[in-house]
Amino acid sequence: MVICALLPLLQLRAALGEAVARLREPVALAPPHDGPRVIGEVSPPARAFGLTPGTSLGEAVEICPELGLITPDPTRAEAVHEGILRRLEGIGAAVESSRPGEAFFRADGLDRLHGGLGGVLAAARRGLGPAPRLAAAPTRLAALAAALEAEPGEAVTVEPARLRGHLAALPVTILAGRLERPGGEEAVRSMRRLGLKRLGDLAALSRDHAADRFGPVGLEARGLARGEEAPLRPRPPREEIVEQVELPEAASGRHLQGGIAILCDRLSGRLRAAGLVARAFVLDARLSGGGSWSREAFPRHPTASSQLMRTLLSPAVEGLPRPAERLRLRAVAPAPADPEQFELDHRPERARRRRLDEAARQVRAVVGERGLMRVLDAEADSRLPERRMLLTPYRGAG
């Protein structure tokens, strides 16, 4: 059985903080200052006005003049989401999550530890507290649908015998954003236009009809409607190294750059001391007047270099909408440093070859095997031009 833990409107809840009671008013997440001018998550009263995430700001205010716009707090939202995942991992679950406030894990294997499915649900409830909704079902989609219907604090179970009926009654719109193959959104719209309102209608189509009308994405949708899903893909164990600095007064410009330099040096020192490098860095800021801001940076190679971190992160803070009160820098997924990584490698020949191989791999990935060939001398002095040189597939700089 797959268990779904759902905390709806996580981003809006995180942005509201203590004022979570405002969810009973028409409120929506304001657009990010450097993003498209559309609203984010909306409260149930705002939804009753017909507002949905992605509505343009102007249209939203016109439809609902009393709409309250809440400054997003992505840092807090991520912290809440990460907290949910870690607490579930704390009960032994291997968790898959691709959306804020949504997590899936298999109960199999945990039931002996916790005493059956009920015990697993109870352990998850103890870990998560009363707010999230929990549901167990044979597939991810069925568990999600059951969790969406559940009351806060409630745990619903869909028995395998009820799976088909449970799925058949769901609207096809539940597939929106859930199809991995390209063209999913368009396919869901087409299904509705063609009168396929429920997953049961989709499941009743023959495989050939689904493929003819909707292509590969149609087959994927039909599979989900019939309870056929790919296995869960739990996230790998995750470690983070964090450094933060409280800024004495709301800082911007050069002061902020100074803060970043301090953070990069500290983080670099900790990574080097532990013999680690990181594949990604996340810089986030708590803004004066509320709200937060964050940016990710991905170096080409895992690194512990303070200089490289600064180079990657310094330009990003120019986009800060307001002065910052606190800066935090996280090294994501740190791993043991490869003794031959380029910063420590004193064999330039080998480093060049490795870089060339990596470049070749990237070219091949974009243009295919034929995009990269090596010219070899065969009979360089031949009087017949076609015998002088050979064109062979490039296998590496070796």
Q: Which of 18, 151, 249, 369 is the binder for other proteins (CB under 8 A)?
A: 369
Cα–Cα distance, 370 to 251 (Å, whole number): 53
Number of residues that bind other proteins (CB under 8 A): 16
User: Is there binding between residue 368 and other proteins (CB under 8 A)?
Assistant: yes
Q: What is the closest distance, in whole angstroms, from the C-beta atom of residue 359 to other proteins in the complex? A: 18
Q: How far is the CB of 393 from other proteins (least distance, A)?
A: 6
Helices and strands in the chain, H and E counts: 15, 14
Q: Which of residues 127-156 bind other proteins (CB under 8 A)?
A: none
Amino acid 245 reads V
**Using CB under 8 A, which of 370, 380, 381, 398 touches other proteins?**
370
Angle formed at CA 159 by CA 156 and CA 162, multiple of 5 degrees: 110
Cβ neighbour number for residue 62 with a 10 Å cutoff: 11
Considering the complex, what minimum distance in angstroms separates the CB of residue 386 from other proteins?
5
Q: Is 381 in the site for other proteins (CB under 8 A)?
A: no
207 binds other proteins (CB under 8 A): no
Q: Which part of the chain contacts other proteins (CB under 8 A), choosing from 89-97, 199-207, 231-239, 381-389?
A: 381-389
**268 Cβ neighbours under 8 A, 6+ residues apart:** 304, 305, 306, 309
Among 310, 389, 396, 398, binds other proteins (CB under 8 A): 389
Residue 361 interacting with other proteins (CB under 8 A): no
Does residue 356 touch other proteins according to CB under 8 A?
no
367 binds other proteins (CB under 8 A): no
Single out the residue of 36, 339, 385, 398 in contact with other proteins (rule: CB under 8 A).
Answer: 385
For residue 355, the number of C-alpha atoms closer than 13 Å in the C-beta half-sphere is 12
Structure-token pair, residue 157 = 């179970």
Give yes or no for residue 384 binding other proteins (CB under 8 A).
yes
CB of 365 to other proteins, least distance (A): 14
Region of 368 please: left (phi>0), alpha (psi -120 to 50) or beta.
Answer: left
- Closest CB to other proteins among 359 and 390? 390
Pair 212, 293: CB distance under 8 Å = no
Helical axes 253-274 vs 306-313, angle rounded to 10°: 140
Looking at the chain, list the stretches that DSSP marks H as alpha helix, in order from N- to C-terminal side: 10-16, 44-48, 57-63, 74-90, 111-114, 116-128, 140-149, 163-168, 184-193, 199-204, 207-214, 216-225, 253-274, 306-313, 348-367
Answer for which of 392, 396, 397, 398 binds other proteins (CB under 8 A) is 392
Q: Does 383 bind other proteins (CB under 8 A)?
A: yes
CB nearer to other proteins: pick between 362 and 392: 392
For 382, left (φ over 0), alpha (ψ -120 to 50), or beta? beta
Nearer to other proteins, 113 or 378 (CB): 378
Say whether residue 391 binds other proteins (CB under 8 A): yes
Nearer to other proteins, 151 or 369 (CB): 369
Nearest-CA neighbor of 264 among 216, 312, 332? Answer: 312
At its nearest, how many Å lie between other proteins and the CB of residue 387? 7
**By CB under 8 A, residue 377 contacts other proteins:** no
Binding site for other proteins (CB under 8 A): 368-370, 375, 378, 383-393
